[in-house]
Amino acid sequence: MNIDLSIFNLVKDASLVVQFVMLILLAASIISWTFIFFKRKELKQSFSVTDDFEKEFWSGVELTELYKKLTAKEFEPEGIEKIFLSGYNEFSRMRQKGDVEPAVLVESAQRAMKIELSRELDRLDESLPFLATVGSTSPYIGLFGTVWGIMNAFRSLVNMQQATLTQVAPGIAEALIATAIGLFAAIPAVIAYNRFSTRLDRLASRHEMFVDEFVVLLQRLAHSK
């Protein structure tokens, strides 16, 4: 007896529960890859903006000139540029009040930059929890589909007087596909999550270092005027 054990046929003949599990895992995999490509592009852009800004910032350009450039109508600030603008705006606003202690000027600017930094990191962290969830749960969801499929395969042999491997093999094969799809969804998600988390930590460190360095610069500026 010839039995068609092609992937398509096994999926088609699987029980509704197993098919539903496969559908969930397939959807999770598609969404994960969408997030992966988007997040990769987003982090690449963030690093590029940070590199360009730091190069210009430490080139000796006047802060007022840099501020005017970043606030121009045709320019849309991103990432570290927003952090700089938040600190510079707060510093300028407090200084215009007059008779403000230098320490208060710097503390206000630092607080504004910390808030903007937190917002930026929260924005970049979006979708990472989803990748972590897919990576940690997909194998178990696939395993559930496998267990259910194998259970049904053996239940179908109850009324048979003589069971053979040929009779039980298709049911077991279709059940194991659920585990395979679960791993297919989980492995890229885990790799991407670890990769993006590392890059995000590195970017956060650079932003925090810039805040500290800019605070020192503002301290000098506050005491000089």
Is residue 146 over pLDDT 50? yes
How far is 220 from 225, CA to CA, in rounded Å? Answer: 9
Average pLDDT estimate for 24-42? 94
Is residue 224 over pLDDT 90? no
pTM for the full predicted model: 0.82
Percent of the chain with pLDDT over 70: 86
| pLDDT tens digits, one per residue of 106-132 | 999 999 999 999 999 999 998 899 999
**Greatest distance between any 2 Cα atoms in the chain:** 97
Q: 62 burial class (0-12, 13-18, 19+ CB within 10 angstroms)? A: exposed
Is residue 225 over pLDDT 60? no
| pLDDT tens digits, one per residue of 66-102 | 888 888 877 788 999 999 999 999 998 888 887 778 8
Torsion of CA 85, 88, 93, 96, to 10 degrees: -140
Q: 201 burial class (0-12, 13-18, 19+ CB within 10 angstroms)? A: exposed
Q: Which long-range contacts (CB under 8 A, 24 or more apart) does 7-15 make?
A: 7/177, 10/170, 10/173, 10/174, 10/177, 11/174, 11/177, 13/170, 13/174, 14/149, 14/174, 14/175, 14/177, 14/178, 15/148, 15/149, 15/152
pLDDT band at 1 (very low <50, low <70, confident <90, very high): very low
| pLDDT tens digits, one per residue of 186-210 | 999 999 999 999 999 999 999 999 9
Question: Hey, what amino acid is at 190?
Answer: V
For 6-10, 53-57, 107-111, 169-173, which range has the lowest pLDDT when averaged over its residues? 6-10
Q: For residue 123, give Cα distances in angstroms to 14, 78, 118.
A: 41, 11, 9
141 phi and psi angles, rounded to 5 deg: -65, -45
